[in-house]
Chain A
């Protein structure tokens, strides 16, 4: 069945370092969404990417969607302690598949 693989599972960084998490699918995605879940909280929508090769930025966060629409990445520049949490990608597959498949998430720890 459809799967979205996300790596790494955990990432520890020093405050100020950069961070990247990657998502990959074996089949083409119609779009991909990114969510952030703070410790003890619920997932909160960050962004949606739809077009092949799309790049979107939100302040220090940069989101990319691959040319083949099979992979995506989230890059955080100069991490801050407020970036702590788990980042999930969620892919929607083509062909009328009415499900959003989440990656396993990347937990980010930021040490001051």
Chain B
């Protein structure tokens, strides 16, 4: 089944404890992206990747890192999480940039205390 998977789905952590949220797609998509969703703000892009080893900042990149060493994986890293990073995170992929729809993962609900 074609899909985008994220892990973990739920995570409660403490301030400053490094964490990684994994994202994987099995559709051979070139483009991948991370968003955070907060009430009243919609989806805001954190980072995106046009292809392997090509990443760039979105609108809210502060406090996040990403890497794209393989086409299928695009992990999101929070080196030192803070409470303002408590949010719902979505990974998305699309065949290519420009005209393509995005396929979203199921989401990761992160709480930082």
Binding site for B on A (CB under 8 A): 1, 6, 9, 31, 33, 41-45, 48, 50, 88, 90, 92, 98-105
A43-B50 CB under 8 A given contacts A31-B99, A102-B44: no
Chain A residues with CB under 8 Å of B42's CB are 6, 88, 102-105
Question: Most B CB atoms within 10 A — which of A1, A31, A45?
Answer: A45
A43-B90 CB under 8 A given contacts A99-B48, A102-B44: yes
Instruction: State A107–B99 Cα separation when bound (angstroms).
Output: 26
The 10 closest A-B pairs by CB, nearest first: A45-B101, A104-B42, A102-B43, A42-B104, A102-B42, A43-B104, A105-B42, A42-B107, A42-B106, A103-B42
Q: Is the CB of A33 within 8 A of B107?
A: no
Chain A residues with CB under 8 Å of B98's CB are 92
